[in-house]
Structure 1
Amino acid sequence: MNLIAENLLYKPDEQFHLNEVSFNFKKGNIYTILGRTLSGKTTLLKTIAGLLTPDKGAIQFEDKDFLKVPVWERNVAMVYQQFINYPHLNVFENVAFPLKQRKVDNQEINDVVLKSLKSVGLEGYEKRKIQELSGGQQQRVSLARSLVKNAKILLLDEPLVNLDYKLREQLREEFKNIFSQGLSEESIVIFSTTDPREAMELNGEVIVLDEGKVLQVGPAKEIFENPKTLKVAEISNDPPMNILTANIESNKIKFEGIEIDIPNHLSNLKDNNFNLGVRASDIELNEKGFEFEVELAEISGSETLLHLTRGDTKLITSIEEVMNFNIHDKVKISFNITKVYAFNESGILASSPFGGSYV
């Protein structure tokens, strides 16, 4: 049976941590909860694990009222962003710990632990002390310990957030392989993150959460291509999608003294004010383009993020190389107009480059 929640409400203070949250998670699938800090992601995972009790709502799993099932009977494993290991035990002993607690046969423990360590890329590390491992390896030990539990529900609460950028990139790819190889078809994986790239690369069903409320649910590709609202567009892009207040009039897009011919996918929109969305990667330096002023330049890995202004309009463009700019430098840019989104004045998607609309 699926893991089903209906109208979960949790409001221990003046703010909603969960605000009428509902979902239907199917066995054998990966789900990603995508949201900013304090959006309710951890609260939702703890509610599923039984560590928090909602003020209202219901959770059903395997024909049971899950909220009445004690924590120790829920068959749930959870991996935290602060990886938890036992420093006095070696790698093998750390992973074997939950099996020994269940008094599993020694030979079975050996087989299961070795299989789990192999699935997370730690084969040969069995006798290493935890202190001898890197942060990424320690997180893998924590994950391996969760996998040996063979839990029907695996919860991962921002498991990569405390790792450096390069290691996060590496583990994202490894996690996909681990989830596809190390879990049974009876398992449900729920992975929470603030990082849109992680949500898209895991390529499962995505739940966009903000201030305790579900904004959109769908396959990662659909969320990326057709964000339902301005808020979803901002949350599901890194850097956040640029939002430009513009007027569409006489087949022209007009803002800040700029006029651009309207692209085909926006030609059905009536003359009106719109919020136009454009990703940082769809803005490029172009000597024949429109002049903006540099407000800030920051190096992020192998790319440069330029924060630009023109009148009241602020935007970010990403350049796929390291470049030096000074504050107040003048640069010229152009927009990939075929990739522009239009949201109406209420913030609902009116037209996307992929044919999506919610109005």
Structure 2
Amino acid sequence: MNLSATDLCLTVDGVDHLKQVTATFVPGRLHTVIGRTMAGKTTLLRVLAGLQAVDSGALTREGADFLKTPVWRRDTAMVYQQFINYPHLNVFDNVAFPLKRAGLSRNEIRRRVTSSLARVGLADFERRKPSQLSGGQQQRVALARALARGTGILLLDEPLANLDYKLREQLRDEFRTLFSDQGDTVVIYTTTEPAEAMMLGDVVLVMHEGQILQIGSPQEVFERPATTTVASIINDPPMNIFTGRIESGQVTVAGFQATHVSAHLADLPDGVYQFGLRATDVSLASAGVEGEVTFVEISGSETFVHAAVGETTPFVIQIEGIHDVALGDLVKLRLRPERLFAFDKEGSLVQTPSYALAPVEGR
């Protein structure tokens, strides 16, 4: 059964936590809500779970008023960022706890607990206490407890945020498989990580300052970001955004010398635009606009170079390999004009690069 939110609004101490949030969540699809810290993601989940009231708006499930449905009747399970387990109970009893409260038979409890622990890879850990488990295993216990309930709505609030990088990568892969067969369950997963949102989500909702800015498939959101804010949120590092001008068949951006307008921008009228360029589409070269290196980060097999062009335009360049670049160095930057995104002065998308969208495997 679909879960539909319409114009949900919530203001606390003059700050908008939710602002006209409208979205429909469909069973059998994994919805990822991506946004920066304080975007309103957790507040949205709390409202859906019945833990937070709203000032106005509607929340319905198959036509029924969900806002008036008591928490205990909402058929909802929630997994939190900080995994919550009962330290005095073993793994089996942690997962079984809500089932016992619901009055299920001993055989049914055993069946559900055994099945859910097997699904999260903890079949051999029934008798261990949470203190005997790693952080990743403890989060799996919390997830197994939610799965065992067999609810119609499953809410996951940044469940991997407190785990180390390697473990997050491993569990992302497992989660994608785990949630692919949820059938009649509405699954909503919040994250601050673009890669996580794109990898897990069938539907991506981009949230910022209490508003949902865009809803679409991972490809649609990534390749056609509706605004400069969306473009920054769903790229890691954030997309480079800078002001430029198109005039008489030429484009000048961020101090770069005027060049012929790339084909995908040729039909745009002359004027001032905001342009976007991903960090992978800027490179260091022997010729180009000059910038001063302000920060260098080496991450595995990649180097991230931050360079200031003029007084107002910062760039981030993502380069394969390890490069000998130091703070204060003057470097030449080369951009790829055919990869420019064009936004109007208010930040709304007006044109995207013309390269074809490739199909996403497994979708």
1:20 aligned partner, one-letter code: Q
Q: Name the residue aligned to 1:162.
A: 162
Distance 2:132 2:300 in 1: 27
1:259 aligned partner, one-letter code: A
Q: Percent identity?
A: 49
Does the CA-based 8 Å contact 2:95-2:142 persist in structure 1? yes
Q: Name the residue aligned to 1:228.
A: 226
2:302 aligned partner, one-letter code: E
Shift of the alpha carbon at 1:301? 4.0
Does the CA-based 8 Å contact 2:256-2:288 persist in structure 1? no
Distance 1:48 1:173 in 2: 26
SS at match of 2:110: helix
1:118-197 mapped onto 2 (5 Å cutoff): 118-181=118-181, 183=182, 185-197=183-195
Q: TM-score, normalised by structure 2?
A: 0.93
Moved more, 259-268 or 234-243: 259-268
Q: Cα gap change, 1:267/1:35 in structure 2, threshold over 3 Å: closer, same or farther?
A: same
Alignment pair present for 1:106 and 2:94: no
Q: Name the residue aligned to 1:284.
A: 283
Distance 1:248 1:79 in 2: 49
Shift of the alpha carbon at 1:257? 4.5
Q: Name the residue aligned to 1:239.
A: 237
Q: Name the residue aligned to 1:331.
A: 331
Shift of the alpha carbon at 1:94? 1.4
Shift of the alpha carbon at 1:355? 7.9
Q: Cα gap change, 1:57/1:308 in structure 2, threshold over 3 Å: closer, same or farther?
A: same
Distance 2:346 2:63 in 1: 41
Moved more, 330-339 or 237-246: 330-339
Q: Cα gap change, 1:4/1:118 in structure 2, threshold over 3 Å: closer, same or farther?
A: same
1:31-64, Cα deviation, whole Å (9 max, x unpaired): 1111111111111100000001101111111442
Shift of the alpha carbon at 1:106? 2.2
CA RMSD of aligned residues (A): 1.7
Q: TM-score, normalised by structure 1?
A: 0.94
1:92-126, Cα deviation, whole Å (9 max, x unpaired): 22112211222322222222212211211223222
Distance 2:242 2:159 in 1: 34
Alignment pair present for 1:66 and 2:48: no
SS at match of 2:123: coil
Q: Name the residue aligned to 1:318.
A: 318
Distance 2:323 2:126 in 1: 45
Structure 1 gap segments, 5+ residues each: none
Distance 1:284 1:223 in 2: 24
Q: Name the residue aligned to 2:360.
A: none
Distance 1:321 1:257 in 2: 26
2:137 aligned partner, one-letter code: Q
Does the CA-based 8 Å contact 2:10-2:16 persist in structure 1? yes
Does the CA-based 8 Å contact 1:157-1:191 persist in structure 2? yes
SS at match of 1:32: strand
Distance 1:119 1:258 in 2: 57
Distance 1:78 1:321 in 2: 41
Count of residues in correspondence between the two structures: 354
1:241 aligned partner, one-letter code: M
1:3-82 mapped onto 2 (5 Å cutoff): 3-82=3-82
Alignment pair present for 1:274 and 2:273: yes
Q: Name the residue aligned to 1:259.
A: 258
Moved more, 279-288 or 217-226: 279-288
Shift of the alpha carbon at 1:349? 0.7
SS at match of 1:180: helix
Structure 2 gap segments, 5+ residues each: 357-363
